[in-house]
A and B are shown apart, each in its own frame.
Chain A
């Protein structure tokens, strides 16, 4: 049997036998199924719904934030800043590796790898590759401020109360 096979290989033109076609189809079928199963595992472990916070949330009325406020909202991971009548919502998730930056009057500082940002979130030192993003701030009909973390705005575009 094996001698016969070898003889076939020696011949320059190998005839396509039914057996070879079937073997090829079987291999491809098994290989294809294997790839599909591996892929479907990834589909399975990728959650379709998450239990995290909504991207759009209310933070109270403007009166809760008197002028001069620089306060960090930990759960929402956003800093609310008010200078006079101008307000802004700046992310406090470090653009480097996701630590929460500390909020001070002089700016933001990351305790993990030493990134530093100025008051408006621009990088002044450390490994952070991008400035801290600003999120859209708006006044809802009920008089409450709303932050939408899904909408980044150009830094420096203040919201006037």
Chain B
């Protein structure tokens, strides 16, 4: 009797083992109740970056256009494809270029992975810049989000520096001359310029030492710094009360509405949402654990219920942006090959020697004056960008695209954007041999 019971217990244990294991990994099943939906964000490591509930305004596709998310997903694509490419790459001046050719001939998916890495890098520069424009034009850098804007500016600079260090690695003509010019620009910086150039190159000219240094920066130093800053960037979104939104997004429509009554079903934001989004911080509202559960007794103060559960609303929006980003990179990579120029010829710079499009504005500036175009003006621009939230302290017009109250600030920023785009267009299409002005028509 006792014996059989023991056996029975053991059998039961065995029978239940798969579920025991499953349940020890996943603490709750796919939720069907609001309590469950709350718990998803709490109990899953990968989801706990999300708030339990997210403001409906945050999910409006045309407010963020998902640009922050796109940047993040491109960063992830770059990390994955980058690590894969590292399996075949050797940072040596005699081998690097051959390894690029090997990707074509003898590595499965070699060209495709390199394409993905290159196009995702271009895309990330664009996405991060557009994300910055979005944050500016919606006035989202204002108190209390000033410091997150500053981190964002640093992330933009790191993105540029990552792509800069990345394109020396194929050791082709573009690589060599772009780095020659780029580090020469660094040499123009006052006082520390020459030292900085020497530290960067590890030599007086671009060569093996420079290749190794750029490799280390590209695959270790910069990604680690970026990863940390991205983490802080996301964390602060939560701590700063989620994404910015206009004041009227929280306004009580009629004073009589004291209970949440009927919350309209979450409008599925099927295009985009933001990086990670907000716990709603309302002055009169205090969340306890019971606040997670929707019901008449949890409301404190007369506030409308303008939030929806992150699971599934935010999560699906994020998934949508993710699929779109990956699909975009894959399609572009399937149709267009990443350029690979001639192997390095120290004697003959290509004529004209052009950097990738996002540095052509800088190259155009530099063609007028090396110091002002390459160091002076960019330094001033970055300084102004960093200090923008501390100059522009008005509280009006937050969370709205091109708010009337922010006409001056938006106009100034628009001029900055347009001037840089014009410089890029001139550098791309209107400059020919010896950097002479040519007409593309």
| Complex alpha-carbon distance, A129 and B370, angstroms | 8
Beta-carbon nearest neighbor of B204 in chain A: A52
**How many whole Å from A123's CB to the nearest CB in chain B?**
13
Beta-carbon nearest neighbor of A55 in chain B: B204
Query: Is there an interface contact between B199 and A111, defined as CB atoms closer than 8 Å?
Result: no
Contact with B along A115-149 (1 / 0, CB 8 A): 01000000000110100000000000000000000
| Complex alpha-carbon distance, A100 and B374, angstroms | 19
Given A110-B434, A112-B177, A113-B435, are A99 and B367 neighbors across the interface (CB < 8 Å)?
no
**How many whole Å from B278's CB to the nearest CB in chain A?**
33
Query: Is there an interface contact between A72 and B369, defined as CB atoms closer than 8 Å?
Result: no
| Complex alpha-carbon distance, A72 and B346, angstroms | 12
Given A42-B199, A113-B366, A127-B370, are A52 and B207 neighbors across the interface (CB < 8 Å)?
yes
Contact with A along B321-355 (1 / 0, CB 8 A): 00000000000000000000000001111111100
> Interface on chain A toward B: helix, strand, loop, or mixed SS?
loop
**How many whole Å from B196's CB to the nearest CB in chain A?**
10
| B436 at interface, CB cutoff 8 A | yes
Contact with B along A15-39 (1 / 0, CB 8 A): 0000000000000000000000000
> Interface on chain B toward A: helix, strand, loop, or mixed SS?
helix
Beta-carbon nearest neighbor of A101 in chain B: B349
| A156 at interface, CB cutoff 8 A | no
Query: Is there an interface contact between A114 and B366, defined as CB atoms closer than 8 Å?
Result: no
Pick from B183, B187, B205, B433: contact of A111, CB below 8 A: B433
| Complex alpha-carbon distance, A113 and B427, angstroms | 10
Of the candidates B205, B366, B367, B373, the one having the most CB atoms from chain A within 10 angstroms of its own CB is: B367
Pick from B180, B181, B199, B363: contact of A45, CB below 8 A: B199
Query: Is there an interface contact between B370 and A96, defined as CB atoms closer than 8 Å?
Result: yes
Beta-carbon nearest neighbor of A99 in chain B: B349
Interface contacts (Cβ under 8 Å), in number, total: 90
| Complex alpha-carbon distance, A74 and B176, angstroms | 14
Query: Is there an interface contact between B181 and A112, defined as CB atoms closer than 8 Å?
Result: yes
**How many whole Å from B55's CB to the nearest CB in chain A?**
38
Query: Is there an interface contact between B180 and A99, defined as CB atoms closer than 8 Å?
Result: yes
Collect the chain B residues with CB atoms within 8 Å of residue A87's CB.
none
Of the candidates B348, B369, B435, the one having the most CB atoms from chain A within 10 angstroms of its own CB is: B435
| Complex alpha-carbon distance, A97 and B183, angstroms | 8
Which residues of B approach A to under 8 Å, CB–CB?
177, 180-181, 183-185, 187, 198-199, 202-205, 207-209, 213, 346-353, 363, 366-371, 373-374, 433-436
Query: Is there an interface contact between A111 and B349, defined as CB atoms closer than 8 Å?
Result: yes
Contact with B along A33-63 (1 / 0, CB 8 A): 0000000001001110011100000000000
| Complex alpha-carbon distance, A140 and B158, angstroms | 50
Given A74-B347, A97-B180, A98-B180, are A51 and B199 neighbors across the interface (CB < 8 Å)?
no
| Complex alpha-carbon distance, A102 and B350, angstroms | 11
Beta-carbon nearest neighbor of A95 in chain B: B370
Q: List 30 A-B contacts (CB under 8 A).
A: A45-B199, A45-B202, A46-B198, A47-B202, A47-B209, A50-B203, A52-B204, A52-B207, A74-B347, A98-B180, A98-B184, A99-B177, A100-B348, A100-B349, A109-B434, A111-B350, A111-B434, A112-B349, A112-B352, A112-B353, A113-B363, A114-B367, A114-B434, A114-B435, A114-B436, A116-B434, A126-B435, A127-B367, A127-B368, A129-B370
Given A50-B204, A111-B433, A111-B435, are A127 and B347 neighbors across the interface (CB < 8 Å)?
no
Q: A45-B213, A112-B181 are in contact. List 19 more A-B contacts (CB 8 A).
A: A45-B199, A50-B203, A52-B203, A52-B204, A52-B207, A72-B347, A97-B180, A97-B181, A97-B184, A97-B366, A99-B177, A100-B348, A100-B349, A111-B353, A111-B435, A112-B177, A112-B352, A114-B367, A116-B434
**How many whole Å from B346's CB to the nearest CB in chain A?**
6
